[in-house]
Amino acid sequence: MMTLQQQNISDNNFESCIKCTICTVYCPVTAVNPDYPGPKQAGPDGERYRLKKPLYYDEALKYCLNCKRCEVACPNDVRIGDIIQSARIKYGRHRPSLRDSMLADTDTVGTMASAFAPIVNFTLGLKPVKLLMDTFLGIDDHRTFPKYSSLKFESWYKKNAAEEQEKFDRKVAYFHGCYVNYNYPQLGMDFIKVFNAIGIGVMLLDKEKCCGVAKIANRCVKDATRDAEINLKSIREAVGNGMDVMLTSSTCCFTIRDEYSHVLKLENSDVRDHISLATRELFRLVDEGKVKLVFRKDFHKRVAYHVPCHMEKLGWGIYSSSLMKMIPGLDLVRLDPHCCGIAGTYGFKKEYYNYSQAIGEPLFRQLLESNLDSVATDCETCKWQIEMSTGLTVENPISLIAQALDIEATRAANKAGI
Amino acid sequence: MKFDTIIIGGGLSGLISAIECARAGRKTAIVSAGQSALHFWSGSFELLGNVDGKAVIDNPLDLVPSLPAPHPYRKIGAERLRKLLSRVPEILKEAGLKSYGTLDRNHLRLTPLGFMKPAWLTLGDYVAVDADKPLPWKKVAIVNIYSYLDFYPRFLAHGLENRGVKCSMAAVNIPELNVLRKSTTEMRATNMSRFFTDEAVDHLAAEVNKVAGDADAVIMPAVLGIYSDAPVERFRKAVKMPVWFVPTTPASVPGVRCQLSLRDLFIRLGGEFLPGDTVKGGEFEGNRLKRIFTVNLGDMPLEADDFIISTGSFFGHGLIADIERIYEPVFGLDLNVKGGRTEWYEKDFYASQPYMTYGVITDDKFHPYKNGEEIENLYATGALLAGFNALKEGSGAGITLATALHAASCITE
């Protein structure tokens, strides 16, 4: 039975806010941009006014990164970030610009860019092109674009991996995400390498679209919902076939598990528990003694682990760090929890570029002072930001495990099957 | 995932016990559902400030035997309390926080409303004076930040003038703060403190020097030093007379500083801090708690040999009151709540409220009970406990710290 209090709580529970301002203390944007009213004011406080009159909507809500650090800090479990995202979608007065739609439409842009990858990569790196994009599109000319791959991960998979996967008794489905597909198929290959070594086959979903995080952030909600429905249909099919769905991107994972229901208002509770990160699943199997990882003796790296904001919100950073700690040759450096500042497409935009870099500055400084071989992180946009801002190499924990694993010995140790 | 010790609750009590467990080499984790009540901290810890409505100054621990029987201090005993609590300044120091005070004698701290209240430990930069001596100043300048509304100079002046101190009041501004005023809601202590670094500190000191006149000391709102002591030290050097701080409306600068410093110390000692996660419940085998489940970790439980629950009282959601009942939401532990809703409170707001004494009942080692059965590897500590009225006694921090250290020593010794 619902209590009286529960009956009086709205969707994103802003009534639970006690105005303590703790969220604002931990907001990375408030720290660098006084034009942003802070999560308490932008979220629960502003919501009361907006419900009264949409006119009270403040365009400064566009400065929110959607990092959800306010929600992690909130002592009363208010979904502050969700309130802000929903308000931007509901009350935002300007339609998404051409630039925003382009940045958000990772599938279309990715497909085109992959087809002409060498030309696109060359062109996007040219100073005059950067200046043109800066002037006419508002994409900051300091920003380095991720390289596009001429071979899409899906094409590689069909040609080189699909057949092999059928041989495994136990299988998982892989939501690779746009980054693996269009920019960095190597991460997908690393994931397959690791999971195959422990005796698990990797299948692709019947149809995969962008998770929608960029479209949600850029308020292209119709398109995000259409993609999300296609993804959920494929995920349901995979789960129905006895497969859990694995991801290697913390942001895609967070979006599908939480933003689909909280922001897009799509029902996903039937499959949510079957959607997980590869590091979480791998840790579980090792922790339960079902899988044994054998590491190479010649692997040595000093690595700092940056917990992406959405990983912090998922609460799963401990799985990635625990796995990396299992690697004997990996010297893991702890970092203070800190947003890197890019927040997906946010840091590409000219008007936010300086804020983006200012937010990440303490992190960059700490990384540069730590004498590292590389940085580990579960999010591709954190990777771009850290690589561009520090010059350090950034790798997904799954890629580090793939490098450190003695594949043959691991395969032999897990021959009996799970 | 297996740990030696898991602490539920990342506030003052949880952090202190976790630090001691991690230091003893135990694999320790804290599960913290959002940030803690430490963010409301005044900068002072109370031990026992009031007994029978009278302020306690000398030897507060001598009064422990006179406290009502189920009181947590009685369970520990004065001698052991002394031993446990003497660790606290050392831990604070290790975390980078300097404090003032002794267990033998309370000092007086200056409250934001201008009262003097007994306290045991106060952070080095906050007003703390000897109870029996006249105040150490003849004339103070109370200096606010222009347009900052969470600090009340008139109340302070009233309180200090009653004690024979002449007060002047002024508000200062530095151009660096003007950007913050773009958003009227954000002139907060914690927001301002981010701007008071490097040269901005010197600019502020110059403005303070202009208005302080011939005062013996400057009293200011606690708006400096959220991440380190460096801005405070720089400021004190640049202001021509001694500077003292008074806490403000939350979120509190000393509170955030204390929270982050203790968390960082815990992590340096090898602890795992899981922020923003809520423990949903646990599985028991006989009288032992085997594993707990959290919202974020879902079907992957956390196992440990020992557990500590430090989830706070009503404010921290360690206790939940709805219309029909009061309960402990994590495990459904046994409470000392008596009667129905109308018996939970007195109509006189200022009376000793019965609900203030509600909490988890435990044995002398702070093992709680569930359905009358003692849970032998679970400890309850801090504001969650039954049997005291922190507000009336001025004992909240002392109980929080003593029970945390007690639980940690039972686990590690």
> Is B275 close to A25, i.e. CB distance below 8 A?
no
Interface contact flag, B186 A75, Cβ < 8 Å = no
Task: Please indicate if any CB of chain A lies within 8 Å of the CB of B272.
Answer: yes
Please tell me if residue B274 touches chain A, with a CB cutoff of 8 Å.
yes
Q: Do A22 and B34 touch (CB under 8 A)?
A: yes
Return d(Cα A131, Cα B335) in angstroms, integer.
Answer: 67
Paired tokens of B154: 């008139």
pLDDT at residue A347 in the model = 82
- pLDDT tens column, B119-142: 999 999 999 999 999 999 999 999
Which residue has 């990396």 as its token pair?
A324
Instruction: Summarize pLDDT for B246-263 with one digit per residue, the tens.
Output: 999 888 999 999 999 999
- Three-class SS state of B1: coil
How far A254 CA lies from chain B's nearest CA (Å)?
A: 11
DSSP string, A114-127: HHTHHHHHHHHT-H
Q: What's the token pair of residue A354?
A: 């300086």
Give the start-end residues of each E strand in B193-236: 217-221
pLDDT of residue B31: 98
Portion of chain B with pLDDT greater than 70, in percent = 100
Interface of A with B in 219-238 (CB under 8 A): none
B317 touches chain A (CB under 8 A): yes
The CATH architecture to which B127-246 belongs is: 3-Layer(aba) Sandwich (3.40)
Rounded CA-CA distance A201/A172 in Å is 6
Residue ranges, CATH 3.50.50.60, chain B: 2-100+257-412
Å between A76 CA and nearest CA of chain B: 7
Predicted pLDDT at A343: 87
Query: Which residue from A minimizes the CA distance to B268?
Result: A334
B69 interface with A at CB cutoff 8 Å: no
Q: Which of residues 146-165 of A touch B (CB under 8 A)?
A: none
**Nearest-angstrom CA–CA distance, A358 and A46:** 26
Q: How near does any CA of chain A get to the CA of B83, in Å?
A: 33
B276 with A313: Cβ contact below 8 A: yes
Q: Check CB contact under 8 Å for B190 and A25.
A: yes
**Do B322 and A280 count as a contact with CB atoms less than 8 A apart?**
no
Q: Does B183 touch chain A (CB under 8 A)?
A: yes
CB of B14 less than 8 A from some CB of A: no
Return the minimum-mean-pLDDT range out of A323-332, A336-345, A382-391.
Answer: A336-345
Our CA-based measurement puts residue A35 at a distance from the nearest CA of chain B, in whole angstroms, of: 6
User: Which token pair is B56?
Assistant: 């306690």
Select B2-100+257-412's CATH number: 3.50.50.60, 3.30.300.90, 3.40.50.150, 1.20.1050.140: 3.50.50.60
The pLDDT-based confidence of A201 (bands split at 50, 70, 90) is very high
Asked if B278 lies within 8 A of A71 by C-beta distance, the reply is no
Collapsed DSSP state (helix, strand, coil) of residue B152: coil
**Distance from C-alpha of B222 to C-alpha of B246, rounded to nearest angstrom:** 6
Instruction: Tell me the range of A16-25, A129-138, A267-276 where mean pLDDT is highest.
Output: A267-276
Average pLDDT value for residue range B343-348: 95
- Mutation pick from A17, A22, A332, A366 vs chain B, by most beta carbons of B within 10 Å, is A22
Task: List the single residue in A20, A75, A334 with the smallest CB-CB distance to B267.
Answer: A334
**What pLDDT, on the 0 to 100 scale, is given for residue A236?**
98
Considering CB atoms only, which of B180, B276, B299 is closest to A315? Answer: B276
Tell me the shortest Cα–Cα distance from A372 to chain B, in angstroms.
Answer: 19
Query: Residue B42 has what DSSP assignment?
Result: -
Length of chain A: 418
- pLDDT (tens digit, 9 = 90+) per residue, B285-313? 999 999 999 999 999 999 999 999 999 99
Compute the nearest-CA separation of B295 from chain A (Å). Answer: 9
Decide if B345 touches A, using CB distance below 8 A. Answer: no
Q: Which chain A residue shows the shortest CA-CA distance from B180? A: A34
Contact B194 A37 (CB under 8 A): no
pLDDT per residue as tens digits for the range B68-88: 988 999 999 999 999 999 999
Instruction: State the pLDDT at residue A3.
Output: 62
Rounded (10°) angle between helices B78-85 and B396-412: 90
Q: What is the pLDDT of residues A254-270, one digit of tens each?
A: 999 999 999 999 999 99
- B12, B40, B184, B186: best mutation site toward chain A, by most A Cβ within 10 Å? B186
pLDDT for res A7: 62
User: What is the Cα–Cα distance from B267 to B147, expressed in whole angstroms?
Assistant: 38
pLDDT band at A9 (very low <50, low <70, confident <90, very high): low
Kindly tell me if the per-residue pLDDT of A114 is higher than 80.
no
Instruction: Report the first-to-last Cα separation within chain B, whole angstroms.
Output: 24
Q: Do B35 and A313 touch (CB under 8 A)?
A: no
Task: Look up tokens 């320790």; give the residue.
Answer: B28
Sign of the torsion formed by the C-alpha atoms of A14, A19, A23 and A27: positive
The answer to whether A45 and A19 are in contact (CB under 8 A) is: yes
Question: Chain B within 8 Å of A284 (Cβ-Cβ)?
Answer: yes
Cα A385 from Cα A397, distance rounded (Å)? 17
Cα(A104)–Cα(A205) distance, integer angstroms: 22
pLDDT of residue A346 exceeding 90, the answer is no
Give the nearest partner residue to B251 out of A22, A76, A318, using CB atoms: A22
Contacts of A284 in chain B (CB under 8 A): 300
Cβ of B193 under 8 Å from any chain A Cβ? no
Among A185-189, B153-157, B249-253, which stretch is predicted with the lowest mean pLDDT?
A: B249-253
Interface membership of B109 toward A (CB under 8 Å): no
- State yes or no: pLDDT of A1 exceeds 60: no
Using N-to-C axis directions, what is the helix angle for A278-287 and A185-197, rounded to 10°?
20
Residue B90, CA distances (Å) to A97, A170, B38, B98, B352 in order: 57, 54, 19, 9, 34
Phi first, then psi: what are they for B219, rounded to 5°? -115, 130
SS (H, E, C) B69-132: CCCHHHHHCHHHHHHHHCCHHHHHHHCCCCEECECCECEEEECCCCCEEEECEEECCECEECCC
Alpha carbons A176 and A398: distance in angstroms, whole number: 13
The reply to whether omega before B251 is within 30° of 0 (cis) is yes
Candidate from B1, B297, B322 with C-beta closest to A5: B322
- In contact, A282 and A291? CB cutoff 8 Å: yes
pLDDT given at position A5: 60
Among A17, A20, A25, A288, which would you mutate to test the B interface (most chain B Cβ atoms within 10 Å of its Cβ)?
A: A25
Classify residue A68 as left (phi > 0), alpha (psi -120 to 50) or beta: left
Q: Which residues of A touch B296 (CB under 8 A)?
A: 314-316
pLDDT of residue B26: 98
